A and B are shown apart, each in its own frame.
Chain A
Amino acid sequence: MALIEASAVTKVYQLGDIVVNALCTISLSIEKGEFIAIMGPSGSGKSTFMNILGCLDKPTKGRYLLEGIDVSNLNRDELANIRNKKIGFVFQGFNLLQRTSALENVELPMLYNGVSAEERRQKAAAALRAVGLEGRQNHYSTQLSGGEQQRVAIARALVNGAPIILADEPTGNLDTKTSTEIMRLLKKLNTESNITVILVTHETDIAAYSRRVIKFLDGCIVSDEHIS
């Protein structure tokens, strides 16, 4: 059984009279442990697809199985539960909470699944250590560099033991050197912890870290290549 199984997924936005076909009949299957780069020009539907994969949004039509569960039929709270346990998000803009320490940012996903305060603290500290930020637990996001903020976000994505990390342009706001560090970290998580990483990028040298490149154009997949 594939980890992710999308069959004939479409997404249509209706803005008054205008109909936007953001995704047109996407079928795709992703196995556990893959490292995938999604590429394509702006407006080609990459983020829309990532949001559906991450259960932040529902497809207009089609079936999406995550670990064999049909996600299209779940309600808000059930989807929230899946995001909490199965998915770790990494965003271009980091999306950390303001006026909140690195440690508390990493604890955030565990506030919503009944982990005790003591265990939360320990797990969050361990996740920060795993991304190389053990000395920065009590720093606020404004006191951290972009690369460090993105590491906090990766720690937050890891902390609940999610099998999938979805990263939408994770290096879009970072310089080349920091981008390389972040990609090495993601690569390490993929090889050492067998975490499935799916990321969106415009840059070919970022995509080079992956083993499979999927190209989008106007809401359709135009190529899907495995790299050895």
Chain B
Amino acid sequence: MQAPTPEATGHPRAPLGFTGTLNSIEAMHRLPVWIRGDFYRALELARRFNDLVVKPMSGEVDLKVMEDNDYLPRDFLKKANEWGLFTLWIPKMYGGKGMNMLSLYPFMEEVSSACAGLANLIGAHYLGVSVLCSSCNMDITNRVLRDVVKENDRGRPCTISLAWTEPDAGTDQVQAPLLPGAKVRTQATKTAGGYVVNGSKVFISSGHLSTWHMLICYEDVLKPADTIVMLAVKTGMRGFTFGHKERKMGQKACVASELIFEDCFVPDENVCFDREQVRRLGITARQAGLKLIDMFPAVTQPGVAAISTGIARAACEAAVRYAAEKKVAGKALINHEWVQLVIADLYRNAVSSRAIYMEATYAAGLLSMIRLLFNKAIFYLTLVTPGWFFTLFVSPLFRLGIVSHVYRKMNFEMTSPEDERHMSGLGSLTKFTCSDLAMLNCSLALDLMGADGTRHDLGAEKLFRDAKLLQIYEGTNEVNRINLFSRHIAQVMPGVGVFEQGSGGER
């Protein structure tokens, strides 16, 4: 009898690649040493921002939205803008202050430890920025981001949202294998000088508060995977209106909006990505489109993980504070051994969570779509070059089509499939692990605090409501688990497919 082939048994044909996850060791010598200081500067900034802005507002905004779901925390946006937070992490070449993007993660952790909802108003903006950058269309990226900088400099908060999810298509859209069959409805029809968009988007974080919206839609809704279009839509454009605001369980400060498009004309100059733009790349429109939607989560999901870590930490801190103050049977709760065991777990979860997302942070600097910014030569050159130099001499070059073409080629064609797989899987792993740990910590903390944990005025219950969202947005945790399996495990296992390929489902 013949021995079964590896293909037939599905045995791995290569090791599962755990060694590929030692990003921090690689980062030690490949990333510029300057970023270390940036991390501390970002943390210091976040702590001051928390003390002066976030903490005094957090509970109040949460309550206001509960009382009036139409309330929008514009004051916070104004403050965040005064602190320069909407432009601090925009690269210098696009007119921003150019703080290294990796330092955004610890910043998000710190602010989220005070309020995940308010933090997400900043996070959602950088999600929009990342998606815009992932289009690799340097002309429109430059124009939109410079507009953001200009408006913010004038004291008018200007942020970007990502508009992707539709009423009938959530998970469908975020996973490449599912996109071909997705029931999407937001259609961009090519017309003279641009696209006409019809359809709607839901759950869009910070939608009502944003000026720009990165709209991902489709030329042919029956062939979404082949016809992805990304448009930069500005609030106020004809045919574009806001619908209802969702009544959410938590993260109430960060409005989740419905965006409605009725014959909304978007001019060619606002087209970030479409089939035409990638025609001359050496890959098909489908390959390019799927790469696009695969690329940015690797950068944005560690952000969700950082928010998660902030909550996990806050839950630990709330439990410790409470246990130190609360007397039970005549003795401080914290002096009961069983409580100390719980607190050790809370602390362990927060620290582990940070270690995990920092690993993904290093990987983003080494392998993701922003890796070029962390090439030592480019990094230091950018650091010492004044902003006006980019405005006067570099910015005009972005208008040349060839610049975007070359940049796209580097990102879409020349990224190794191994790196792509690694980053995509790692993004997923980071997102679902840290958000699960955040939920776990909130549950442990509430268990420890008993009824006091459920009081709004003591703050811990808000953490619990806020944390649950982390398991849902940026792809549900289940789908991210499948993506991790697909990218890090199935990839080296012949004959193993995901999304029940060929099985027709378990009926």
Chain A complexes with chain B: no
